[in-house]
Amino acid sequence: MIRRMLIGLMAVAFAVLTTGCLVVTGSSYHESGVKVTPTTLDRLELGTTTEAWVIATLGEPTERTEVKGQPNVAILRYEHRTTEHSGGTVLFLFAGGKNESRTSTAYIEVTDGIVTDYWTE
């Protein structure tokens, strides 16, 4: 009798586990830094736009580096990073995920407080 009940219980447990499937998914997105768009860069006029205007428009740069051997020349670096994570789990069968990170950087060269060049990576 007990053996029959155990076999019955195991059969029910097996049926429940194999007929139902739990799927769990999720994703997250994180953004940091200052995104310098082509439209913003188009507003910069070499030889005219001031460093003060750049900072007032974009905020403080990620990094400001004085160029050694070139007096009054600095490079403003604006970095923008996005990180996206997505993943899922199928109960007892499969678990997977994907992490994707992107970084874009804009450089603005300033000489004597005036923008003299810019580029992006």
Model confidence pLDDT, tens digit, residues 38-58:
999 999 999 999 999 999 999
What local confidence, expressed as pLDDT, does residue 25 receive? 75
Nearest residue to 33 (alpha-carbon basis) of 114, 111, 102: 102
Model confidence pLDDT, tens digit, residues 56-90:
999 999 999 999 999 999 999 999 999 988 877 76
Other Cβ atoms closer than 10 A to 61: 22
Q: Which has more confidence, 86 or 35? A: 35
